[in-house]
Amino acid sequence: MTISQAHVLPHEQALIRFDWDTAQNRLKSALGEATYKSWLSQLEFHDVVSGVLILRAPTRFVKDWVLTNCQAVLEQTFRALDPSIFKVDVIVSAEIKKMPSTLHVVEAAEPAEMPLPSVGVREYESEWKEGDRDFVGSALDPRFTFENFVVGKPNELAYAAARRVAESDEVTFNPLFLYGGVGLGKTHLMHAIAWHIKRMRPNRKVIYLSAEKFMYQFIRALRFKDTVAFKEQFRSVDVLMIDDVQFISGKDSTQEEFFHTFNALVDQNRQIIVSADKSPSDLEGMEERMKSRLGWGLVADVHPTTYELRLGILQAKAEKMASAVPQQVIEFLAHKITSNVRELEGALTRIVAYATLVGRSITVEMTQEALRDLLRANDRQVTIDHIQKKVAEHFNVRIADMHSSRRLRNVARPRQVAMFLVKNLTTHSLPEIGRKFGGRDHTTVMHAVKKVEELMVEDATFREDIELLKRMLQS
């Protein structure tokens, strides 16, 4: 995949269900031209195996760098385009022995007839699949450990609770419910619990997966009339972790199944850990009994970061980077990038990449230059013009189409999305928004907002797409 089309051979393209150019454009805008050019352009598409999109890097150095710095963005980007991709991994070209070309086990393959992986793939899978082809969980990120988690006021409760659950022999509170905004460390803490238990009590069965994946597996089990096995899998674990449980809000049958699994495990005194973006009582579209169940144990929230915490995190991350990052730059970033930790990491990555690329040492001036767009966005409110521009870029339509009266779906939809985002990210009134979109009526804007909200409920891909855009605009 260079991420250039020329490198995607026809048979490779058949494996991905999205447009490669779109993926590239999104990666460019998410990571910046410099990072993209100096690192991502060296990658090639390799394979898709069981929902893992595998890329090839020329050297181990590039692989490590990309995994450390861009994995989350890669995963977000590809998942937004194809929800069956739940992980992105990188392998080193030179280390591929004989990779079979025929084996492309995509998640939706018949579970009973999954072909046995041959050598290369099996070796690869053992890195993330626990060597068990029936393994239902998601992969754990090796960087998300307690050791790598920086503790401060905003996350100390969540951290203490996570440690307690990881270390104790008995189930003290059930479930542990972690909640907070995007990019504040919830997933990191859950993986850390899993790693700790795996190390200290390897015979305990721990399953970590996103609520999305839970739903996906459940639907697949229904489709293949295999719900008994599905139930067995989940009900035989010692520790079950479900990440981003808000995802199953409004998904009634998945919720029902989760509720039963939940109760069965609690009855057997097994530990459950759940994360969400809101507290149990604020989870809209979640049944009352589920909300109340979720609030039974310990509810711990992760607050937005403080300056001190950001400083601590940056220092820890900077130590692991290839180039030296001066203290003034770290302080500058901690002051300026206040949104969340993911952004903060992204900023640091970008300046290191930029410095490598232009062969300069890292200074505050250079940081201002490299992060100009990001800093500006953190400084001011997003504007209507900016939203229109980004949405147009994202959907590959002209900015003029934001104002035009063309009603074709392929321009009308992006326009509706832009209106929705303006309503959500700015304080403009409906009539003002209408005026800025080619003099439309406020009821048109209202309709657009409603339409997008409906689509977000109905269509997970669409929703991910919008959320990605929103994050990009806020970053």
In whole angstroms, how close is the CB of 186 to Mg ion at the nearest point? 5
Backbone angles phi, psi at 249, to 5 degrees: -60, 135
In whole angstroms, how close is the CB of 226 to ligand ADP at the nearest point? 30
CA distance 242 to 273: 6
Q: Which of 16, 313, 329, 333 binds ligand ADP (CB under 6 A)?
A: 313
In whole angstroms, how close is the CB of 186 to ligand ADP at the nearest point? 3
CA distance 20 to 1: 8
Closer residue to ligand ADP (CB): 26 or 188: 188
CA distance 219 to 164: 34
Closer residue to Mg ion (CB): 340 or 349: 340
Place of tokens 């449980």: 245
CA distance 253 to 25: 36
Place of tokens 């972690």: 178
Cβ atoms within 10 Å of 412's Cβ, excluding its own: 17
Q: Which of 42, 187, 271, 339 binds ligand ADP (CB under 6 A)?
A: 187
Taking CA atoms, 191 is separated from 194, 229, 326, 455, in Å, by 5, 25, 30, 31
Structure tokens, 28 = 């460019």
Please tell me whether residue 70 binds ligand ADP under the rule CB under 6 A: no
Site string for ligand ADP, 132-171 (x = CB under 6 A): ------------x---xxx----x----------------
H/E/C letters for each residue in 22-71? HHHHHHHHHHCHHHHHHCHHHCEEEEEECCEEEEEECCHHHHHHHHHHHH
Beta strand pairing status for 271-276 and 206-210?
Answer: unpaired
Q: Among the candidate windows 187-195, 342-350, 404-412, 434-442, which touches Mg ion by CB under 5 A?
A: 187-195
Site string for ligand ADP, 90-129 (x = CB under 6 A): ----------------------------------------
Q: Which of 28, 56, 188, 390 binds ligand ADP (CB under 6 A)?
A: 188
In whole angstroms, how close is the CB of 384 to Mg ion at the nearest point? 30
Closer residue to ligand ADP (CB): 8 or 158: 158
Structure tokens, 322 = 């290839």
CA distance 210 to 247: 9
Please tell me whether residue 184 binds ligand ADP under the rule CB under 6 A: yes
Backbone angles phi, psi at 19, to 5 degrees: -85, 125
- How many binding residues for ligand ADP (CB under 6 A)? 17
Sheet bearing 87-92, strands edge to edge: 44-49, 52-57, 87-92
Report the partner that residue 155 touches, choosing among ligand ADP, Mg ion, none (CB closer than 5 to 8 A by kind): ligand ADP
Closer residue to ligand ADP (CB): 197 or 341: 341
CA distance 316 to 297: 32
Q: Which of 155, 187, 340, 416 binds Mg ion (CB under 5 A)?
A: 187
Q: Which of 183, 346, 414, 434 binds ligand ADP (CB under 6 A)?
A: 183
Closer residue to ligand ADP (CB): 283 or 445: 283
- How many binding residues for Mg ion (CB under 5 A)? 2
Binding footprint of ligand ADP on the chain (CB under 6 A): 72, 144, 148-150, 155, 182-188, 313, 341-342, 345
